[in-house]
Each structure stands twice: as structure tokens, then as C-alpha cells.
Amino acid sequence: MSDFPIGVVPRCFALVPAAGVGSRSGADRPKQYVPLAGQAMMAHTLAALAAVPRLEATLVVLSPEDEQFEQAVPAFSGPRAWVARVGGATRAETVANGLQVLREQGVQAHDWVLVHDAARCLLRPEWVDHLIDACQEDEVGGLLALPVADTLKSTTSPMGATTAARVAATVDRRGKWAAQTPQMFRWGLLAPALAGHLESVTDEASAVEALGHQPLLVEASMENFKVTWPADFALAERLLRSR
């Protein structure tokens, strides 16, 4: 149990699921540990969260087999820096396990949890503050997101197919948004949302939506992209060095 005071005013905590290996990245290690601009990718992510005074603490959820974190991110330390090696087989399981750790640390049902991808390493503290400002009085919560500008195509080929992909149809982009993180929900809403069948859950908002709620969309920056593909690393490196 932490020594953070418990009161009636909701507090904000960050949760960073980092138990995956990033198989699509083509990297020789879990992508969160790939060096970018002189530091492990996740070090940039955690530094941005640490610069948000309204976050009481940040919990990083790692795989039980992770032996790299402390060496790769030595600056993550102190009373606001928590680590738990309870990651699951999926992102949803990892977040659900992390929520239970937060509960053990004294997080209450009315407190806010901001779940953020370790691979969104270009996060800026002011974007987190903008999300908190937008959601702190909302009855559901919400997420950073970006209206889709590109024309969307569906394909005849599944991801990873050996045959060339062909267009099956053009998808109407009107009203479509690309979800980002952080995604901010109260512990008491997010924990039960992630307690059921998690196979189709790709982010926290989709789990909350499955309960019948409508999360708030908070417009964000295109720069808050998730490093996923090999070419993304070079782009993230350039942007980080330009700051």
C-alpha cells in the first residue's frame, strides 16, 4: 500500500502497459527498448508522463520475464514511479492486471487512470493536461484521438498474407477518428470493463463502449503516433531530435 492520501477528490494515475514484444517492428528486441535519440523509446514516454504534475504516480506493467527495464530506463525511480511484472498475454490482460496493482496501492474507484502506450514516445505533457482538463468533469472519460483525413480502403487480404493486397471497398471516412492514448477512465469503470471476455478488446475505450458508454473524443496531434513499423523508428528519431 502506498502512502498517498486518500480523499474525496479524484486523483489521476498513469498506467503504461509494456509487456509486449512489438513483433511488427522488425527490431532485435522488444521495441520499447530500442534506442531513439540517445534513450530507450520508453524512457521518452515515461519522461513526458513524469512532467505532468497532476499525475500522482505512473505504473509500468512489464512481462514477468522482463529483465531489461531497470537498465534501459534508469531514470524511472522515486515515489511516483511504480513497476509491476504482471503483464498478460494481451494488452487488455496487462492493463487489467495493472489495475489490480493500482488498487493494492490505494487507488480508489473514483480515481482516474490514464492508460498510455509505451510506444507513443512523442507524447507531450501539455497533451496529457489537455485530456485531463477535458475529461475530469465527464461522467465517462475519454481518449486522445485524431479525425481521419486519408481515404480509407478495406482489403481482400488479411494482414500478413503472402499475396498482394487488393481493394475490396472504399470506406466512408466521415465521422471516423483514429484512437490514440492516453485513454482516461475512472478505475471503477475501467476495471469491470476489462473483467469480461477480452479477445476483441484493442483499447480501453472499446471495453468501456461494450458496457454501453460513449467515451469523449479529445482531438490530439498527428505527432502522437504509435511506433509500430520499421520506418516509424526513423521518423520518431527525427522528431525527437528536432525538439
User: Residue 106: how many CB atoms within 10 A of its CB?
Assistant: 17
The answer to whether 204 and 95 are in contact (CB under 8 A) is yes
Q: Note the pTM of the prediction, 2 decimals.
A: 0.91
Q: What is the CATH number of domain 12-141+180-242?
A: 3.90.550.10
pLDDT at position 238 is 96
pLDDT at position 28 is 66
Strand residues in the chain grouped as ranges (E): 12-18, 35-36, 39-40, 55-62, 81-84, 112-115, 141-147, 152-155, 167-171, 177-186, 216-219
pLDDT at position 81 is 98
User: Residue 64: how many CB atoms within 10 A of its CB?
Assistant: 10
Eight-state DSSP code of residue 20: -
From first to last of the 243 residues of the chain, give the pLDDT tens digit. 445 555 678 999 999 999 986 545 455 678 999 999 999 999 999 999 999 999 999 999 999 999 999 999 999 999 999 999 999 999 999 999 999 999 999 999 999 999 999 999 999 999 999 999 999 999 999 999 999 999 999 998 776 667 788 999 999 989 999 999 999 999 999 999 999 777 778 899 999 999 999 999 999 999 999 999 999 999 999 999 998
Phi and psi (nearest 5°) for 82? Answer: -115, 145
pLDDT at position 103 is 98
Q: How far apart are CA 234 and CA 217, in angstroms?
A: 29
Q: How far apart are CA 223 and CA 82, in angstroms?
A: 27
Phi and psi (nearest 5°) for 124? Answer: -115, 140
**Residues whose CB is less than 8 angstroms from the CB of residue 162 and which lie 6 or more positions away in sequence, other chains included:** none
Q: What is the CA radius of gyration of the chain?
A: 18
Looking at the DSSP bridge assignments, the partners of residue 183 are 115, 143
Looking at the DSSP bridge assignments, the partners of residue 26 are none
Q: How far apart are CA 204 and CA 157, in angstroms?
A: 27
Q: How far apart are CA 148 and CA 240, in angstroms?
A: 24
Write out 181-243 in H/E/C secondary structure: EEEEEEHHHHHHHCCCCCCCCCCHHHHHHCCCCCCEEEECCCCCCCCCCHHHHHHHHHHHHHC
Positive or negative: CA dihedral 118, 120, 125, 131: negative
Return the domain boundaries, the chain.
Answer: 12-141+180-242
**Residues whose CB is less than 8 angstroms from the CB of residue 172 and which lie 6 or more positions away in sequence, other chains included:** 152
The answer to whether 156 and 105 are in contact (CB under 8 A) is no
